[in-house]
Structure 1
Amino acid sequence: MVIRMNLNRPMKSFWKTKIRQPSRKSSCQLEQRHVFRLLSQRAFNCKSRSAFQARNANFKGPEKPIESERLLYQGLEISESKQFALGSSLATRLSTDRTLQCTEFDDKGNIVARNVEIKKSDLVNKFGILSRDLRKIDDEHDFPAILVRESTILVNFLQHRALITYKRVLVVHLGTPNTGINYDSSFMYGLQGKLNFGISQHSNLPYEFRALETVLVMVISELDVEYQKIKTPVNKLLDELQHDVSLEKLKQLLDVSKQASAFRQNVQRVRTALHTVLEADDDMAAMYLSGKAAGTPRQEADHTEIELLIENYYDASGEIVDKADKLLSDVEYTYDSVRSILDSHRNSIMMLDVQFSIAAVGLGMATYVVGLYGMNLINGLEENIHGFSFITGGSVIGILGVGIFGLYKLRRVRKIYSMHGMHYDRRHRTKN
């Protein structure tokens, strides 16, 4: 008798049970399960210890957790915060390792470094600021701002970025050396001349105020120049649209009006940044860097010089905002005028169409009557010598009657519509 054994099935089940792929669970779940098991074990140990102490009153067990448990908890805390700490340190390192192209001026207004690459970490250590403060002068940050720190003033206005101390100015260039501000630009010459002039003429303004004033002068000048560049084509288009309205001119007016709106928004941002500083007495007092370096810091209410300086350019920016508003109002008024002209032309075309429709109705009625008598049927007027005159005269009178009646109704409708429009305009003006 031969006994046959099926070896495939046992071996298959064996490989399924013995060589099994491990379950893919996250380390966080495993650590939570391990902590839960440890806490349960500790609770059980505490209950057992309390029961043992109840039976043995003289026994004094350890009040602190054992060393292995403490190390396990410490390792668990490190493992949970490891990813966040690593990510934050990496992000900080990447942000501070970036370089900025800068030009540095000394306390006498001379350029000591031209278009040099400086790491952000070096700027943080050199000027005593935080790494997040450098975001105000990044290429991605387009909002104007004046940031006051203990020994540094960070300035960001349009394309002018600078770090100002009581004895040095670091101008940050935007973009590459070919596209950014170079040291021989008007801004660099103006800054160098202002700093040298203050020393030679013994100006009462501190070094940091003269540097800040140079930045504000350049900003206001550039805004004024940009306003003139926008104003010229806008006024030209407005004059042309008063005589001739075309689609191409309307498209051009739309483009320049968008430019004017963007310009007005930029000027308003500059004005808002200056207003923010004027509203903060502590920031204005902290801007006296030379006094703090000399050991005589200003009180919070003692900031007359810097307040007058910033207020002067705040008013100048306000004038440019008013000019931009007036320019936009002229564009809007022109749009309304063009819209009224187009509406008038459209209404004239519609009235002409209605008049032709009324004339067509009168002619249609006359044609209907003529068609009735034009049929080859006996109607009793064939032998009448006045039949032709009667039918023709009646048709003409019918056409004129329909036309006069239609025009009368049309005029009445126009009168009612115009009275309604005047009443609406008067009510709208009263509400405003």
Structure 2
Amino acid sequence: MASSTPPLSSQYSSNLLQLPLHSPQFRLILAGISLSQSKCGRVSLQQKSSDPLLRPIAAKEVGIRCFATEGESAGEVIVSKDEDDEVNGQDFSDGSAGSQRIPASGDSLSLGIREPVYEVVEVRSNGIVSTRKINRRHLLKSGGLRPRDIRSVDPSLWLTNSMPSLMVREYAILLNLGSLRAIAMQERVYIFNYNRKGGKAFIDTLLPRLNPKNMNGGPSMPFVLEVVEAALHSRIQRLENRLMDLEPRVQALLEVLPNRLTADILEELRISKQTLVELGSRAGALKQMLLDILEDTHEIRRICVMGRNCTLMKNDEMECSVPLEKEIAEEEEEEIEMLLENYLQRCESCHGQAERLLDSAKEMEDSIAVNLSSRRLEVSRVELLLQVGTFCVGIGALVAGIFGMNLRSYLEEHVFAFWLTTAGIFVGAVVGFFLMYSYLRKRKIL
């Protein structure tokens, strides 16, 4: 009897079932396994009581591999059957078993890459501020974005996305203004790098705009436009403040430098010039971004139809289900253009002032270079004159050395020979010096 009836556990131990995690078939199989094990126990007890030579066969552990297909994530969970009929200590009756062990991204699981998690500050339209951690997939779903959109505001890619940008998508606006990186939606805005100066200045500018006490009963702008205006205002105001702090220092250096050429002043001029170059490049990049947006009416209209039952046709015409929404969208389009033009003028003024100060610093640097060159030329002329004089005196020393040798020339017997030789050496040195000087002046070397 024992040889004809194989144990039921051997029929399931080598099978791997691929079923949805929350399907009724999966629960039915688990119930069948439990029932089969209980039957095996009863049959073995009956056999033991009837035949003492037969022993009960212990059921082996059954391993079932299930692939979850819920949502967009395709993870893998291993369910083990132990002696107490408990599956990893989790209850499958609520339909959420194994959700903590299923990775959020099937691509991350297959590639072995950990999905990035961003720590952001969330500012809601009612002014509530909170810090939260959000993963990449949830951010893509909540904003209707694509992975390449996230790369434009990803703080970890600051080397590749350093240029300012304002990208408009169907449900979100992505802002990249240097140290300020944010994603604005209908009811909230996520701020990356909130501890940096750009993020702090943006939050300080945005929160007063969301306070109902500051509305003064006037019509309020949409939340997305408030975010865009606060971002542009905080960015341009930071550039203007830096320029206002730098301008007096540069003016003072320009007044002092012609008369005082010290190493400290020249180093301060170099640092100021480097700061002006940085300010000019940032203001110029921001100005170019605003110009590109103003020239692209399609992007402006995409901002206007955001959050409304409106669509843009191929000819950039707006079609709304409610005529009133179309009128409001057209009015907002004019407001957005005026808003961008206003900040474009401020940015252009800041860029022009930085360029003027930089040109003044460059002119002063050129003047200093000319002054130093003239001084070096004077030093070279004096050095050349000294070399000519040394050459002439060296010729006289040669004559003196010739007469100083212990050779008989019979001139030493006459007294006048000493004075004649000395006078000849001096006269020859002076004549040779003037001849060399006139030659150098004629060749325009001196």
SS in 1 for 2:131: strand
CA distance in 2, matches of 1:257, 1:102: 36
What is the letter of the counterpart of residue 311 of structure 1? E
What is the letter of the counterpart of residue 402 of structure 1? G
What is the letter of the counterpart of residue 360 of structure 1? T
What is the match of residue 427 of structure 2?
A: 397
Give the 3 Å change call, closer, same or farther, for CA 207–111 of structure 1 in structure 2. Answer: closer
What is the match of residue 203 of structure 2?
A: 188
What is the letter of the counterpart of residue 194 of structure 1? R
Aligned residue runs from structure 1 range 115-134, under 5 A = 115-134=131-150
Give the 3 Å change call, closer, same or farther, for CA 99–379 of structure 1 in structure 2. Answer: closer
What is the match of residue 102 of structure 1?
A: 121
Q: CA deviation at 1:93?
A: 7.9
Give 2:291's match in structure 1, choosing from 247, 250, 275: 275
CA contact (8 A) 1:261 1:328 kept: yes
Identify the range of structure 1 (264-273 vs 350-359) with the bigger mean alpha-carbon deviation. 264-273
Normalised by the size of structure 1, how large is the TM-score? 0.64
Q: CA deviation at 1:157?
A: 1.3
CA distance in 2, matches of 1:361, 1:352: 14
CA distance in 2, matches of 1:92, 1:233: 54
Tell whether 2:198 aligns with 1:168.
no
Aligned residue runs from structure 1 range 318-329, under 5 A = 318-329=348-359
Aligned residue runs from structure 1 range 187-206, under 5 A = 187-196=202-211, 199-203=215-219, 205-206=221-222
CA contact (8 A) 2:122 2:129 kept: yes
Give the 3 Å change call, closer, same or farther, for CA 333–413 of structure 1 in structure 2. Answer: farther
Query: Could you give the per-residue CA deviations for residues 321-356 of structure 1, whole angstroms, max 9, x where no partner exists?
Result: 222222332332233233223322322222222111
CA distance in 2, matches of 1:346, 1:113: 64
SS in 2 for 1:129: coil
CA distance in 1, matches of 2:149, 2:244: 34
CA contact (8 A) 2:166 2:173 kept: yes
Tell whether 2:131 aligns with 1:111.
no
What is the match of residue 135 of structure 1?
A: 151
Q: CA deviation at 1:286?
A: 0.8
What is the match of residue 72 of structure 2?
A: none
What is the match of residue 414 of structure 1?
A: 444
Q: CA deviation at 1:216?
A: 0.8
Give the 3 Å change call, closer, same or farther, for CA 89–333 of structure 1 in structure 2. Answer: farther
CA contact (8 A) 2:198 2:235 kept: no
CA distance in 1, matches of 2:112, 2:421: 101
Task: Percent identity, please.
Answer: 21
Query: Could you give the per-residue CA deviations for residues 28-86 of structure 1, whole angstroms, max 9, x where no partner exists?
Result: xxxxxxxxxxxxxxxxxxxxxxxxxxxxxxxxxxxxxxxxxxxxxxxxxxxxxxxxx97
What is the match of residue 165 of structure 2?
A: 145
Q: CA deviation at 1:377?
A: 4.5
CA contact (8 A) 2:287 2:344 kept: yes
CA distance in 2, matches of 1:159, 1:317: 17
CA distance in 1, matches of 2:221, 2:106: 47
Q: CA deviation at 1:125?
A: 2.5
Give the 3 Å change call, closer, same or farther, for CA 218–118 of structure 1 in structure 2. Answer: same
CA distance in 1, matches of 2:112, 2:415: 112
Higher helix share: 1
Query: Could you give the per-residue CA deviations for residues 198-228 of structure 1, whole angstroms, max 9, x where no partner exists?
Result: 8544348544323311211111100111223
SS in 1 for 2:119: strand
What is the letter of the counterpart of residue 291 of structure 2? H
CA contact (8 A) 2:123 2:130 kept: yes
CA distance in 1, matches of 2:202, 2:108: 38
What is the match of residue 316 of structure 2?
A: 300
CA contact (8 A) 1:99 1:118 kept: yes
Q: CA deviation at 1:122?
A: 2.8
Normalised by the size of structure 2, how large is the TM-score? 0.62
CA distance in 2, matches of 1:170, 1:325: 34
Superposition CA RMSD, Å: 3.4
SS in 1 for 2:316: coil
Give the 3 Å change call, closer, same or farther, for CA 368–130 of structure 1 in structure 2. Answer: closer
Query: Could you give the per-residue CA deviations for residues 3-36 of structure 1, whole angstroms, max 9, x where no partner exists?
Result: xxxxxxxxxxxxxxxxxxxxxxxxxxxxxxxxxx
What is the match of residue 339 of structure 2?
A: 309
CA contact (8 A) 1:128 1:151 kept: yes
CA contact (8 A) 2:120 2:191 kept: yes
CA distance in 2, matches of 1:308, 1:91: 48
Give the 3 Å change call, closer, same or farther, for CA 105–204 of structure 1 in structure 2. Answer: closer
CA contact (8 A) 1:152 1:289 kept: no
What is the match of residue 154 of structure 1?
A: 174
Gaps of 5+ in 1: 1-84, 418-432
Give 1:244's match in structure 2, choosing from 256, 260, 275: 260
CA distance in 2, matches of 1:186, 1:116: 19
Identify the range of structure 1 (151-160 vs 187-196) with the bigger mean alpha-carbon deviation. 187-196
Query: Could you give the per-residue CA deviations for residues 139-176 of structure 1, whole angstroms, max 9, x where no partner exists?
Result: 133331101011322222123233334x424141416x
Give the 3 Å change call, closer, same or farther, for CA 285–351 of structure 1 in structure 2. Answer: same
What is the match of residue 344 of structure 1?
A: 374
Q: CA deviation at 1:406?
A: 1.6
What is the letter of the counterpart of residue 354 of structure 1? L
CA distance in 2, matches of 1:210, 1:377: 106
Paired residues, number: 322
What is the letter of the counterpart of residue 399 of structure 1? A
CA contact (8 A) 2:179 2:198 kept: no
Q: CA deviation at 1:318?
A: 1.9
Tell whether 2:234 aligns with 1:218.
yes
SS in 2 for 1:137: coil
CA contact (8 A) 1:161 1:172 kept: yes
CA contact (8 A) 2:153 2:182 kept: yes
What is the match of residue 369 of structure 1?
A: 399
What is the letter of the counterpart of residue 308 of structure 1? M
CA distance in 1, matches of 2:232, 2:152: 17
CA distance in 2, matches of 1:161, 1:372: 87
CA distance in 1, matches of 2:356, 2:248: 14
Give the 3 Å change call, closer, same or farther, for CA 202–387 of structure 1 in structure 2. Answer: same
Gaps of 5+ in 2: 1-104, 318-329
